[in-house]
Each structure stands twice: as C-alpha cells, then as structure tokens.
Amino acid sequence: MVCGGRPLIGEVEMPAAKNSILPILAAAMLAQGAVRIRRAPRLRDVETSMQLLAALGCPAVRIDGDLLLAPGGPVGDTVPRPLMAAMRSSIYYLAPMLARGKRAHITFPGGCRLGERPIDLHLKGLAVMGARIVADGDHLDCAAPDGLHGTEIHLRFPSVGATETLLIAAAAAAGQTRIFGAAREPEVGDLAHFLIACGARIEGVGTDRLQVWGGALHGCEYTPIPDRITAQTVLCAAAACGGQVLLRRAPLAPLQPMAEILTRAGCGIRQLGENDLVLESDGRLLGVGSLSTGVYPAFATDAGPLLAAAMLTARGDTALRETIFSNRFGCAAQFARMGAELDCDGRLLQIHGVPKLHGAALTAQDLRGGAALVIAALTAEGESRITGVDYIRRGYEDIARLFGQLGAKITEVCLPVHTAASAGVSV
C-alpha cells in the first residue's frame, strides 16, 4: 500500500548486489573449505539459492547477517524441478555440479517473463570444455566423465549469465581457458574477484577477454559489491518525487549512465568521497528524448522500467528502446491505469509526460517492473495497492522499509513468502 505525493528525504545504505551474490553462491561449491559471504541480503532468490545448495549437499546457514557455507563434501547430481523453475540463476549450478560431481540432471531455469532467454551460450561453452549434454524436452542430462578442460571460447553476444557460468567452470577446469567477447558488467568482475579470493588465477577482469587458469580453490570471506540496481531504484524515485537523498555504498562509476540521464532531466547529483552519492530534485523533471539500453557500460536493461516510471510525470517526451529483452516493459499497461500517457510497441516505450498520476490497483509481473510500479505509486496522488510483491521480493529485501527510511508512506502486508519448500519439495 503506497500513499504517494511525498518528497523523499534522508539516507539509505545499499545492500550487497543481488546479481553478484547469486553466482557467487554457486561458485562457492567449488571451494575446499568454509566460505563466508558478508552482508547477504534476505532476498527471495537468495533463500531459493540456499534451498538449492542444501539439495546439492552444501547447506548454507545465516550467521549475523552473513551466509556461511561448508563445501567440499559429495555433490548431488539432481536439482528439483521447482527450484530450477524458481529463478533464472539456477543455471549457475550446472558448472559446479559438472566440475565436482561430473553429472547433472536439471530442467531449464525459470525467472521473470521478459521474453526469450535462451541458455544455448552456457551449454555450448560447457560442451567445448568437455561436457556431454543431452536435451529431452525441458530436461537436460549432462555429464563430464573426464572432467572439464580449459579451451578457447568465443561468445557471439556478451551474455552476463553465460560469461559467469563459463567463468565458474574455467576456475575448476584443467588447464587454461580463454573467454573472448565476455560481458564486462561489474557483477561479472565481482564473481571473478570472489574466485581470486578463493585462489583462482584470472586475468583480464573488467575487459571482454578473460584468461583463467583452473585449479583447486580454498575457502574465503568475501563481501559482494553494492547493488547498483537498488541504487538506481532509489535515484529514480527521489528524482520523480523530489527531495534530497544520500545513498551510502553507492559509488558513482557503475551508476554513471543513470546519473547523466537524471542530470539532463534536471536533478543535481554529486559524489561524496569514494562510495556515497547525493541526489537533489525539485520533482519537476524534463523529458530526456530517445534512449536505448545496452550491454555495460551502456544504460542497463534492468534500469529501463525504473527510469520509465520516473519520466511519467516529466515535462516533455521520453522514448526508451530495449535492446536485450522483448518484454521488458510489461509494466506499461499498469502505468496507464494511473493516468500515464504512453505507447508501448514491443521493445519501444514512448512516454508523454503528464502533470500528475493518480493512485490505482496495480499488479507486478516481474522484478524490475514491480519496482517501477512502486516508484510510480510514490509519485502519484492518492493511494495505490500493488499485488504480486513476490516478484519484488526477489531483488529487494524490504522495499517498504527502503523507502520508509526516506519518509515515504508505504507499508507491506506480511504474508509468507512462497518457496519451493512450502510447495512440498524436500530439500
């Protein structure tokens, strides 16, 4: 429940990045020794990852806000179908299963319905590293009887997920692996730095060419980078609502595309020290014209719906073209229910700013689209009721508390989070 129309004022601290911690948890299965992940957020996808780790014989427990894993024992060869279907990141477990146990029985991963999301780059890369993969419908029977071996891999598209899958595999493979056309997102670099902390040798971090020398890994303690998408969620909300917010643990560099756009829209943004950021806005934004999402360091696809929500009441037009997913703007129909003037034609969302939005009954249909509905509701007059919050919980520990710290009038009805365990899966 959101009562909008209030400025956002105060400070918030950014949590560890969802898109870092999920592949890191999978990669931790390769270690021979305890792994401690600091500042682990209580996200739905993190909880699903913990169930998945337990199903594979590597349980994780929470201790003082951290996650503690004790890998090194026997590895299971099967992931229960509901856990695979619960999130896109379940695919990350294929590489450590093959590296440690040499067999894997899985189904295709689930996740938000953003359009076609193939895993062919993951599978083709693992195949050239020695895996045998047989598909039967949505089931994959995978084996690497001789283990994984280093090789040269050329990705035709800089897929974040495929890069991370192959990086995990390469860290455990025999010999040297070179990955060309690798994704350069900060979360890919974070996974590489975690593996390095575990003893891996990796060169080219932050570039599109990675060299990895496989070998035995040991345990470590590691703190993932701050969540840049959560930071952009706060920035877009404060820009549209008006006010002044201080973001702790929000370095400017990975937020630069969004910061430049919001500055063009009329906001003031400045960096404090190395890791903090201040945004000031009077809430009267200007349309920013035509923009396109792209691979890092371009404007992020995850941030598209967030910016769209902020631009609904801007003076002038904004056109957002999505280049990664075909259904990124599924939230557009919900914006229209609030009085927004827009047109969505596949990957292109055209917005003509209106003076105000009104509260409405809304339904979240994916993670970032759900967060965008919260932003729109915060700017609207009156009260909005948002359902489908399980999608939002996948990437935000407590979005009501996040914005409540900034003076927003927002509350969440606390219902049990649906998990695979509650659906009858034994883990």
**DSSP codes joined into one string, 300-355:** -GGGHHHHHHHHTTSBSEEEEE-SS-TTTTTTHHHHHTTT-EEEEETTEEEEE--S
Q: How many CB atoms lie within 10 A of CB 101?
A: 17
Residue 210 sits at φ, ψ, to 5 deg, of -110, 135
CB–CB of 93/78 below 8 Å?
no
Going by C-beta distance under 8 Å and a sequence separation of 6 or more, which residues neighbour residue 333?
Answer: 344
**DSSP codes joined into one string, 237-281:** HHHHH-EEEEEES--SGGGHHHHHHHHHTT-EEEEETTTEEEEEE
Residue 370 sits at φ, ψ, to 5 deg, of -65, -45
* Euclidean distance between CA atoms 395 and 286, whole angstroms: 29
Smallest Cα–Cα separation from 179: which of 201, 164, 190, 196? 164
Q: Which amino acid is at 14?
A: M
58 is catalytic: no
| Element holding 62 (H helix, E strand) | strand 60-63
Question: What Å distances lie between residue 180 and 206, 208, 323, CA to CA?
Answer: 12, 6, 21
DSSP label of 231: H
Exposure pattern of 332-348 as b/e (b: 16+ CB <10 Å)? Answer: bebbebbbbebebeebe
| Burial class of 243 by CB neighbour count within 10 A (0 to 12, 13 to 18, 19+) | buried
Active-site residue (options: 112, 198, 267, 331) = 112
What six digits make up the tokens of 66? 């951290």
* Euclidean distance between CA atoms 245 and 8, whole angstroms: 7
Would you please indicate which residues are annotated as catalytic (active-site) residues? 112
